C-alpha cells in the first residue's frame, strides 16, 4: 500500500512519461518524413533507421496505451469497489472521452473516406490510359528507329550485294559509305560499318552526331545469331551522346568470309531521356497501382495511430483533470470521515487557489476551531472532574465524620425536609433514616416530637441568635429515655438566606449517670467517714455501760437492758449502712478471670430455690464456654437482681434466667425475667441511681452497685417491661 | 489525537501492485502480437507448388569443380507483373562446399553467394538478366528465356580441383532465396515489415566423392 507521497510521486512520473511520449512521437515522425524525402543524411542506412524509428514509435504508442489502459482498468476496479471519488472520476473521464472520441472518430472516418476517394481518383483508368499511350508512343519511336535501321541497312545491303564494289575493297567501300551518309542526310543512318569477323572491322563511316564517338564493338554472339538466323539482328548500345540502335545484317556474297553490315542509328540523349521518363512514369504508376492496397493500409494505420494518440491524450487528460478535481473532493470527504470518527488534529493540503482551495481553507479552519473548543471542553471537563472529585472527597470526609461523630446530627432544609440523619442519631433514636429522609418532619415524626422541634425553632428565632442549646429528656421507646443536650443552629448561605437547620444532640445520659454516681459516691464516702467515727465509741460506751451496770442496777434493769441493747443494735445497723455506703463509695476493682457463668448462675439459683419455694426459678443457657469476668462481682449482681425479683414476688411467681452467647456481637447476654407487677417509667428512669429504692427497707444501692460492676466489665445493663407483666433485666458482657 | 489510517476491509479494496502486475502481464501478452512480423508464407507459384532446387549436377573441367542447378516453381504471376512494372527480381543462391569427415564435423571449403537479377525495359520490351558470375548481362525479348536464365546456374566454378583430394567425400549445400525487394519510391519507409513476395527453398545437400 503506497503512502500518499509515494502515490503522488508515481502519478507525477506517469505524467512525465506520457508527456515525453507525446512529444517524442511527433519528433520521430518528423525525422521519418525527412528521411523519406532524403533531406537528412545519416550515417546509418535509412531503411534501418526508419525501421528503428517505426519500432520506437510503436513502443511508445504501446507504452502510452498501457498507461492509459492501466488507468482505465484501475478506474473500473475502483468503481466496482466503490472507492471514494471513483464515481465522479468515471463521469469526468467518460465526459472527456466522449467529447474527444466523437469528433476524432468522425474525423477519422472522413479522412479515411477522403484517402480512399483520393486514391481512387489518382488511380483511375484515364491516367493509366494516357500513360500507356505515352509508353506506346515511346515504344513505337524505338521500334521505328529499329525498323528504320533495318530498312536503311537493307537498302545499303542491297546496294552492296548488287553493287560492283568488292567486299575487300575497303577504300571504295569507305567512299561509298561516306557518300551514303552524306547523300541522305535526313533518312541517313548515323553510322555504317562492315564487319568481317575473320578479318575484323573493315569499313566504318560515322555521321556528324557520332563523329566524336568511337563505336563499341559488336558482340560475336550477335554476329553468330545473325548468321544463324539469316535475319537482321537489332542490338542497342549506350554511348555518351545517346543510345545506338544497330541493325546487323549478313551480306550475301561470294566471298569466303562472312561479312556483316551494321547500320547504326542514334537516339539522342535528349530523346532518350524523354523516352526513359515516359517509361519510368508508367512503371512508377503501375508500381503504385500494385502497391495501392499496402499504401492505403499504411495511410489508414498512420491515421489510426494519430487518432489513437489523440484519443489516448484525451483520455489521459480526462484522467488528469478528473484526478485533480476529485483529489481535493476526496481529501475533503476523507476529512469529514475523520472528523466524524473524532479526529480533528489534521489539516488538508490546499492544491489550488480557486473555489476548491477556498473550500479546503474553510474546512481546515472549521476543524481547527472544533479542535480548539474540544480541547477547551476537555480541559473544563477535567477541571470539573477534579473539582467533583474534591467535592466528593469532602463529602465523603464529612459523611465519615458524621458517621463516626459521637453526637447525633439531623439536618432540615428550608422546606422542612429532613436531609441528613447520621448513624449516631439513627441508633440513638432507634429510627430507620430511609423512612425520614427527604420527608417533611411534620409528617414523618410523631406529634410530640414535632412540637418539641417546633418549640426549639421558635426559641431560636425568638432569641435572634444563630444557635441555641437546650436540654431535653427524650423517651425513644418504652423504657428508653435519654438525656440529650440539643444544639439547634440556623444554616445561612453566602447570600444570607436561610437554607435550613441543623440539630446536633449529645447523649448526656451516661455522663449524667456517671456524674451522679460519682457525686453519690463522694457523699457516701464522706458520710461513711463522718458517721463511722463516732459509732464505735457510742457502741463501746453502750457495751461498757451494759457490762458495768446491767448486774448492779436493780430497779429498772429491764429498761436499762432494753436501752443499751437498742443502742448497740442500732449502732450495728448504722454500721451496716455505713459499711454499705463505704462499699458503694469504694467499689473494689474487678478482677477478671476465666470462669464459667453457667456454673455461677446455677449455684446462685440453688440457694434461691431452697429459700423461696413459692417461686419457680428456671435457667436456660447456651453452650457458653469459659470467658473472662469477675465471678465474685457478677455473682453479687445476680444476687442483687434475684433479690429484687424475689422481693416483688411475695405471693409467688416465676423467675427465669437465660444465658445466651452472641458470637457475632462478641457478647454474652444474661436475661433475668420476672412476672411481677413491673415498674413505671419514672421508676425505670431512676432505677440505677444510688439510694433510689421502691422498698422502704432498701438502701437503694444494690442496682447502682450492679450497674457499676457491669460498667466496669465494659458491659451494659438495661431494664424493660416484660410481657404481659414483669420486668426484664438484660446484662450484656463482652465475651473475651 | 493520533490518526490511524483506516485500512481497507479487504485487500482487493484498493488498486495495488498485484493488480498493476496483472494488468501489465495481460497487456504484454496482447502487445507481443504487434511485434510479430506478419509471416508471409512462401510465395505460391501458379501451380501451387513449393519452389525447389532440382537437377543439381556437379561436374568438373580441367581446373575447377562446376555446378549446374535449376530452381523450379519459383515464379508467380505477381512477381512477373512486378518485373514488367519495373520492380527487378533478384534470386540469391547460397552454395557451400564442405569436406566430409566421418568421425568429426564437416569443414567448409568455400561459400558462394550468387545473385541473378531480372529486369524489364518497357520501351525496348526486352528482359535483362544480370549474373554475378558473368561480366555481361543477357538480354532477351522472350520471358521464358529470361525465366530460364534466372533460374539456372550454368557451370559455376565452385572450387579449384587442385585443392581437392581424389576419393575424398564432399558435400554440396545449395539454397535459393528471393531477395526481399525494396519497394520503389521509398515505399519501404511507409510500409514496413512487408514484402510483396518472397520465397526461400530448403537447403539441398548433395554428397559426392571426388
Q: Are residues A554 and A577 located together in one domain of the fold?
A: yes
Cα–Cα distance for residue pair A355/A727, rounded to 1 Å: 100
Residue B42 binned pLDDT confidence (cut-offs 50, 70, 90):
very low
Domain boundaries, chain B: 52-202
Q: Which of B149, B168, B164 is nearest to B63 (CA)?
A: B164
Phi, psi of A65 (to 5 degrees): -60, -40
Residues A492 and A525 in one domain: no
- By C-alpha distance, the chain A residue nearest B37 is A55
For position A645, what pLDDT does the model report? 92
Grid cell of A424 as nine digits: 449516631
Shared domain for A670 and A723, answered yes or no, is yes
How many angstroms away from the CA of A507 is the closest CA of chain B?
A: 60
Tell me the residue length of chain A.
736
Q: What residues are paired with A418 via a beta bridge?
A: A412
A439: its cell numbers: 420527608
* Residue A394 is assigned to a structural domain of this protein: no
Cβ distance A294 to B187 less than 8 Å, yes or no, reads yes
Residue pair A506/A521 in contact by the 8 Å Cβ criterion = no
CATH code: domain of residue A182: 3.30.450.20
Please report whether residue A169 resides in a domain: yes
A726-735 pLDDT, tens digit per residue, is 999 999 999 8
Beta carbon pairs, A and B, within 8 Å = 110
Q: What is the band of B12 on the pLDDT scale with cuts at 50, 70, 90? A: very low
User: In terms of C-beta density within 10 A (0-12 exposed, 13-18 middle, 19 or more buried), how is residue A173 classed?
Assistant: buried
Q: Is CATH 2.60.120 the right assignment for the domain spanning B52-202? A: no
Q: Which helix (H) or strand (E) holds A532?
A: helix A509-549
Q: Which three-class secondary structure state does DSSP give residue A656?
A: strand
Cross-chain CB nearest to B16 (options A1, A54, A290) = A1
Clarify whether residues A529 and A669 are in a common domain. no
Sign, CA torsion A4/A9/A13/A19: positive
User: Total domain count for chain A?
Assistant: 5
Residues A140 and A263 in one domain: yes
- State residue B181's pLDDT score: 63
Mean pLDDT of B86-92: 87
Q: What is the pLDDT of residues B119-178, one digit of tens each?
A: 999 888 889 999 988 888 888 889 999 999 988 988 888 888 888 888 888 899 998 888
Dump pLDDT digits (tens) for A536-563. Answer: 888 889 888 888 888 888 777 888 888 8
Contacts of A294 (CB under 8 A, 6+ apart): B187, B191, B194
Q: Which helix (H) or strand (E) holds A40?
A: none
pLDDT at A318: 79
What tens digit of pLDDT does each residue of A229-240 get? 888 888 888 888
> How high is the pLDDT of residue B37?
43
Residue A392 burial (10 A CB sphere; 0-12, 13-18, 19+): exposed
Return phi, psi of residue A734, to 5°: -70, 135
What is the ipTM for the molecules in this complex?
0.71
Tell me if A242 sits within 8 A of A265, measured CB to CB. Answer: no
Which residue, of A482, A507, A532, is where some domain finishes?
A507
Alpha-carbon gap: B152 to the closest alpha carbon of chain A (Å): 20
Q: What is the pLDDT of residue A73?
A: 82
Per-residue pLDDT tens for B95-106? 999 888 888 888
Nearest alpha carbon to residue B93 among B72, B75, B61, B71: B71
Domain for residue A464, yes or no? yes
Q: Do B82 and A78 touch (CB under 8 A)?
A: no
Residue B124, helix vs strand vs coil? coil
User: Which residues of B fall below an 8 Å CB-CB distance to A?
Assistant: 1-3, 7, 12-16, 19-20, 23-24, 27, 31, 34-35, 81-82, 84-87, 121-125, 182-192, 194, 196
Residue A376 pLDDT: 93
Q: What is the pLDDT of residues A623-670, one digit of tens each?
A: 999 999 999 889 989 998 998 999 899 888 999 999 999 988 899 999
What is this structure's pTM? 0.47
What is the domain range of residue A684? 593-734
Beta bridge partners of residue B52, listed in sequence order: B72
Q: Which residues of chain A have pLDDT under 70?
A: 1-2, 32-51, 53-54, 163-164, 183-187, 199-201, 477-480, 584-588, 696-699
CA angle A474, A480, A484 (to 5 degrees): 35
- The verdict on residue A241 lying in a domain is yes
Prior bond of B162 cis (ω within 30°): no
CA distance A532 to A539: 11
Task: Say how far apart CA A281 and CA A621 lie, in whole Å.
Answer: 151
> Is A356 within a domain?
no
- How confident is the model at residue A173, as a pLDDT? 80
Return the sign of the alpha-carbon dihedral for residues A84, A89, A91, A94: negative
Task: Tell whether A3 lies on the interface with B, counting CB pairs under 8 A.
Answer: no
Instruction: Report pLDDT for B33.
Output: 61
Average model confidence (pLDDT) for chain B?
Answer: 77
A167 to chain B nearest CA, in Å? 31
Whether A32 and B182 lie within 8 Å, measured CB to CB:
no
- A279–B123 C-beta distance less than 8 A: yes
DSSP collapsed to 3 states, A267-311: EEHHHHHHHHHHHHHHHHHHHHHHCHHHHHHHHHHHHHHHHHHHH
Query: Strand pairing of A408-413 and A418-421?
Result: antiparallel
Give the gap in angstroms from C-alpha B90 to the nearest C-alpha of chain A: 17
Q: Does A214 touch chain B (CB under 8 A)?
A: no
Task: Indicate whether A4 belongs to any domain.
Answer: no
What SS3 state is found at A262?
A: strand
Answer yes or no: is A3 within a domain: no
Instruction: State whether A730 and A673 are in the same domain.
Output: yes
**In a domain? residue A331:** yes
pLDDT digits (tens, 9 = 90+) for A169-210: 778 888 888 887 776 556 677 888 888 877 666 788 888 888
Distance, first Cα to last Cα, chain B = 99
Q: Do B122 and A344 touch (CB under 8 A)?
A: no
Could you say which residues from 557 to 596 on chain A have a Cβ atom under 8 Å away from some Cβ of chain B?
Answer: none
Mean pLDDT of B60-85: 86
Amino acid at each position: 500500500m503506497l503512502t500518499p507521497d509515494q502515490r503522488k510521486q508515481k502519478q507525477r512520473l506517469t505524467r512525465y512519461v506520457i508527456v515525453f511520449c507525446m512529444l517524442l512521437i511527433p519528433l520521430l515522425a518528423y525525422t521519418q518524413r525527412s528521411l523519406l524525402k532524403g533531406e537528412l543524411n545519416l550515417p546509418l542506412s535509412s531503411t534501418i533507421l526508419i525501421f528503428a524509428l517505426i519500432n520506437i514509435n510503436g513502443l511508445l504508442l504501446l507504452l502510452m496505451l498501457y498507461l492509459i489502459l492501466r488507468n482505465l482498468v484501475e478506474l473500473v476496479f475502483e468503481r466496482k469497489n466503490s472507492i471514494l471519488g471513483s464515481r465522479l472520476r468515471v463521469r469526468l473521464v467518460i465526459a472527456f472521452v466522449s467529447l474527444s472520441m466523437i469528433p476524432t472518430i468522425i474525423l477519422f472516418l472522413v479522412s479515411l473516406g477522403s484517402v480512399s476517394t483520393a486514391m481512387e481518383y489518382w488511380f483511375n483508368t484515364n491516367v493509366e490510359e494516357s500513360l500507356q499511350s505515352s509508353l506506346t508512343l515511346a515504344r513505337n519511336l524505338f521500334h521505328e528507329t529499329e525498323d528504320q535501321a533495318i530498312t536503311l541497312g537493307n537498302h545499303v545491303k542491297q546496294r552492296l550485294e548488287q553493287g560492283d564494289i568488292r567486299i575487300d575493297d575497303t577504300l571504295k567501300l569507305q567512299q561509298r559509305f561516306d557518300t551514303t551518309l552524306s547523300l541522305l542526310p535526313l533518312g541517313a543512318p548515323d553510322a555504317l560499318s562492315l564487319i568481317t569477323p575473320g578479318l575484323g572491322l573493315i569499313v566504318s563511316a560515322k555521321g556528324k552526331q557520332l563523329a566524336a564517338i568511337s563505336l563499341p564493338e559488336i558482340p560475336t554472339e550477335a554476329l553468330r545469331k545473325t548468321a544463324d538466323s539469316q535475319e537482321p539482328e537489332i542490338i542497342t548500345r549506350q554511348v555518351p551522346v545517346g543510345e545506338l540502335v544497330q541493325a546487323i545484317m549478313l551480306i550475301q556474297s561470294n566471298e569466303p568470309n562472312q561479312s556483316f553490315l551494321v547500320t547504326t542509328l542514334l537516339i539522342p540523349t535528349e530523346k532518350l531521356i524523354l523516352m526513359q521518363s515516359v517509361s519510368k512514369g508508367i512503371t512508377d504508376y503501375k508500381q503504385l497501382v500494385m502497391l495501392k492496397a499496402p499504401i492505403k493500409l499504411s495511410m489508414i494505420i498512420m491515421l489510426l495511430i494519430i487518432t489513437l494518440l489523440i484519443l489516448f491524450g484525451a483520455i489521459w487528460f480526462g484522467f488528469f483533470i478528473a484526478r485533480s478535481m476529485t483529489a481535493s473532493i476526496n481529501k475533503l470527504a476523507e476529512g469529514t470521515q475523520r472528523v466524524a470518527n473524532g479526529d480533528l488534529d489534521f489539516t488538508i493540503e490546499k492544491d489550488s487557489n480557486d473555489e476548491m482551495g477556498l473550500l479546503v481553507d474553510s474546512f481546515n479552519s472549521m476543524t481547527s476551531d472544533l479542535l480548539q473548543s474540544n480541547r477547551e471542553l476537555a480541559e473544563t471537563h477535567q477541571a470539573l472532574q477534579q473539582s467533583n472529585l474534591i467535592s466528593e472527597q469532602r463529602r465523603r470526609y464529612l459523611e465519615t465524620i458524621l458517621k463516626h461523630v459521637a453526637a447525633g446530627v439531623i439536618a432540615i432544609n428550608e422546606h422542612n425536609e429532613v436531609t441528613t440523619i447520621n448513624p449516631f442519631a439513627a441508633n440513638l433514636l432507634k429510627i430507620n433514616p430511609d423512612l425520614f429522609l427527604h420527608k417533611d418532619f411534620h409528617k414523618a415524626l410523631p406529634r410530640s416530637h414535632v412540637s418539641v422541634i417546633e418549640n426549639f425553632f421558635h426559641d431560636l428565632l425568638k432569641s435572634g441568635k444563630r444557635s441555641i442549646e437546650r436540654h431535653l429528656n427524650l423517651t425513644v421507646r418504652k423504657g428508653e429515655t435519654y438525656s440529650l443536650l440539643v444544639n439547634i443552629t440556623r444554616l445561612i448561605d453566602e447570600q444570607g438566606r436561610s437554607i435550613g437547620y441543623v440539630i446536633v444532640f449529645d447523649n448526656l445520659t451516661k455522663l449524667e449517670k456517671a456524674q451522679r454516681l460519682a457525686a453519690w459516691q463522694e457523699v457516701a464516702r464522706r458520710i461513711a467517714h463522718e458517721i463511722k467515727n463516732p459509732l464505735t465509741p457510742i457502741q463501746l460506751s453502750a457495751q461498757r455501760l451494759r457490762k458495768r451496770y446491767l448486774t448492779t442496777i436493780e430497779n429498772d434493769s429491764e429498761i436499762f437492758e432494753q436501752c443499751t441493747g437498742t443502742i448497740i443494735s442500732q449502732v450495728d445497723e448504722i454500721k451496716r449502712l455505713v459499711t454499705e455506703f463505704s462499699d458503694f463509695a469504694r467499689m473494689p476493682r474487678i478482677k477478671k478471670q476465666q470462669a464459667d457463668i453457667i456454673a455461677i448462675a446455677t449455684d446462685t439459683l440453688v440457694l434461691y430455690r431452697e429459700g423461696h419455694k413459692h417461686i419457680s426459678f428456671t435457667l436456660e443457657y447456651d453452650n457458653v464456654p469459659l470467658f473472662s469476668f469477675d465471678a465474685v462481682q457478677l455473682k453479687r449482681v445476680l444476687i442483687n437482681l434475684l433479690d429484687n425479683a424475689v422481693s416483688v414476688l411475695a405471693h409467688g411467681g416465676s423467675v427465669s434466667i437465660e444465658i445466651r452467647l452472641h458470637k457475632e456481637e462478641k457478647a454474652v447476654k444474661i436475661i433475668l425475667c420476672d412476672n411481677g407487677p413491673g415498674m413505671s417509667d419514672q421508676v425505670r428512669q431512676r432505677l440505677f441511681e444510688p439510694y433510689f429504692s421502691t422498698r422502704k427497707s432498701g438502701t437503694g444501692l444494690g442496682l447502682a452497685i450492679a450497674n457499676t460492676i457491669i460498667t466496669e466489665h465494659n458491659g451494659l445493663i438495661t431494664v424493660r417491661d416484660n410481657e404481659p407483666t414483669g420486668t426484664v433485666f438484660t446484662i450484656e458482657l463482652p465475651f473475651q | 489525537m493520533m490518526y490511524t489510517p483506516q485500512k481497507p476491509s479487504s485487500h482487493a479494496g484498493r488498486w495495488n501492485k498485484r493488480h498493476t502486475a496483472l494488468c501489465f502481464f495481460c497487456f504484454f501478452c496482447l502487445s507481443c502480437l504487434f511485434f510479430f512480423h506478419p509471416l508471409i508464407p512462401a510465395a505460391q507459384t501458379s501451380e501451387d507448388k513449393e519452389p525447389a532446387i532440382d537437377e543439381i549436377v556437379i561436374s568438373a573441367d580441367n581446373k575447377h569443380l562446376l555446378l549446374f542447378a535449376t530452381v523450379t516453381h519459383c515464379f508467380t504471376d505477381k512477381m512477373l507483373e512486378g518485373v514488367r512494372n519495373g520492380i527487378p527480381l533478384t534470386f540469391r543462391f547460397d552454395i557451400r562446399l564442405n569436406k566430409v569427415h566421418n568421425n568429426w564435423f564437416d569443414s567448409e571449403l568455400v561459400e558462394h553467394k550468387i545473385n541473378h537479377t531480372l529486369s524489364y525495359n518497357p520501351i525496348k520490351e526486352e528482359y535483362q538478366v544480370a549474373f554475378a558470375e558473368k561480366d555481361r548481362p543477357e538480354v532477351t525479348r522472350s520471358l521464358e528465356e529470361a525465366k530460364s536464365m534466372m533460374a539456372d546456374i550454368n557451370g559455376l566454378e565452385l572450387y579449384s580441383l587442385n585443392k581437392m583430394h581424389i576419393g575424398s567425400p564432399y558435400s554440396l549445400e545449395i539454397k535459393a532465396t528471393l531477395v526481399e525487394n525494396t519497394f520503389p519510391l521509398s515505399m519501404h519507409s511507409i510500409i514496413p515489415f512487408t514484402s510483396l513476395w518472397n520465397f526461400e527453398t530448403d537447403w539441398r545437400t548433395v554428397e559426392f566423392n571426388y
